[in-house]
A and B are shown apart, each in its own frame.
Chain A
Amino acid sequence: MPSRLRPTPLLLALAFLAFLAVPAFQDESMTSFCFRLLELVAMTYSLNLITGYLGYVDFGHIVFYGVGAYTTALLLSGGVALHPALLILPGGAAALLFGLLAGYPALRLRGAYFAIATFSINEAMKAVVLNVDWLGGSEGIPLARYIRLELTTAYYVLLGIAAAVAAFSYTAVRQKFGLGMLAIREDEDVAEALAIDTTRYKLLTYALSGAVAGLAGGIVGLAHVYVSTEYFDVGKSIEMFVIMMLGGAGTALGPLLGAFLYFLIKDFLILRSPHLHLVIFGLIIVFIVLFLPAGLVGYLRERSGRLRALLE
């Protein structure tokens, strides 16, 4: 096949290069805004792996974020002296392990039952953290004593995580692992009958997407020098879902595009109608689910075979 221009990796590269340039403007509020944006980008890409590509709706995805943040925070407050960028690695590893342990029973369930199980897993973890003293209980774990992390440093680390998971999403679907995920999403029994070890694939995807969320949780916790049960807030899970639906689940551009759109719409609405913005936002979501169930990228892909080859 002749090599053609591929707009998807180009757009991804441009967007992440733009993110890379942000701290150079030395504008604290702008960097902080983009940090929040990147956090949602990374988290949505992570959710997109398990829900968009594998087809398992994970309402409790935020649990990985919490596990990562708490592991990192506990190590730091426990006196582990490491560069903060390295300190998040055990957070990611803990999230990975948590994914393997929780996923093993949970992934036996399918459809709505799995979604409910993930929701419960998150609520259970939240309850544990709230009630165990050495986990900080309801007061959380303040970290300002142990660390002073430049926002710029945290920003670059988060950017690295987001870019890596985006690149993985783009390349995976052209390879065995990604196609295996898609096959399971499309028809798990048929995938199994085509010699795909579905149990292994599901578990790996769940744990891997969890690890990404764990790393993100770790770096955000360090940047805010404080972790609390807010890190298990299911509201954030829903936010990720909205972004994924907006952009297009199961696409490599969707989470990035969705996050931009989400921020755009949200800020616009807050400015224009501070009292009704959530109501209007809800209506927009209903509209998307009804008329654009595949999201923006998905909608464009469905329009024509040409667009499908261009947007991934």
Chain B
Amino acid sequence: MAGQAVRAEAAGGQGLLVLRGVTKRFGGLVAVQGVSFAVAEGETVGLIGPNGAGKTTLFNVITGAVAPEGGEIRLGGERIDGLRPHEIAQRGVRRTYQIVRPFPNLSLLDNVLIGSLFGGTGRAGEAARERAREMLAFVGLTDKAAMLARDLNLAEKKKLELARALASGPQLLLLDEVLAGLNPVEIDRSLALLAEIKGRLGTTIVMVEHVMRAVLRVSDRVVVLHQGEKIAEGRPEVVAGDPRVIEAYLGERVG
């Protein structure tokens, strides 16, 4: 444990996103306990762990939706813990939601337009509209631009959220289970899309994911949470073979 903390500390020196000893409790329940890790610019980090490990809570803490009780969070060297969510978003952090939350009664174009109008790199007028169309094309929803978001299926809603999050040209993208609930074909398409976000846009990504195949394929590095604590961190193929990780997911071998 101590050795790990030291390594995290060392990694914490540089990096776009740096978490140090982040803790969040809900009453007596400790959702996230002293979690430290860093994400370098351009890197894709997979955040994995069994249900209730604290992954989504960690996203909520990073985006300011809930305030951490302890620790600090830095974005590009500047402390962002304690800021209001829109202030953190203003600094280029965007997220998608595990349970999708597009703006249901607005057109797809307006959904993405809102994404491109606001934020640090916010555009105005026709430039914002153009950017919104580009992003819809990027996720392959151009022909549905005038539809209402509530009329989409789940896979499309997830793509729409992705387009909305990307529209402002974020520095850091937090993806909360973008693949959950998709069928194998849709997963392949979404993975191709993620590869493009990484390759073409160069966006730094932290992704919570249960689809291991996807995590192994897309992530440069993996952080494993278990009961709110970080239990492993490293290259995906190494972490996947780590006995502690296997134990956390599958339980202890009997006999």
Contacts and interface: CB of A to CB of B under 8 A. Distances in A.
B147 to A, nearest CB: 7
Contact of A183 (B114, B119, B122): B114
A179, A182, A187, A198, most chain B CB atoms within 10 A: A179
Nearest to B117: A176
Given A180-B117, A189-B65, 14 more contacts: A176-B117, A179-B113, A179-B117, A180-B118, A182-B114, A186-B103, A189-B85, A190-B103, A193-B86, A194-B118, A194-B164, A195-B90, A195-B118, A308-B107
B115 A194 contact: yes
Contacts of B97: 190
**Interface size grouping (class) on chain B:** 20 to 34
Contact of A186 (B104, B113, B117, B119): B104
Secondary structure of the B contact surface, majority rule = loop
B120 interface: yes
B106 A193 contact: no
Contacts of B117: 176, 179-180
Nearest to A298: B105
A197 interface: yes
A182 B146 CA distance: 16
Interface of A: 176, 179-180, 182-183, 186-187, 189-198, 305, 308-309
A198 B104 CA distance: 18
Contact of B103 (A176, A182, A198): A182
Contacts, number: 68
A193 B95 contact: yes
B110 interface: yes
Contacts of A186: 103-106
A194 B89 contact: yes
Nearest to A190: B101
B103 A195 contact: no
Interface in B60-94: 63, 65, 84-86, 89-90, 94
B86 A305 contact: no
A56 to B, nearest CB: 16
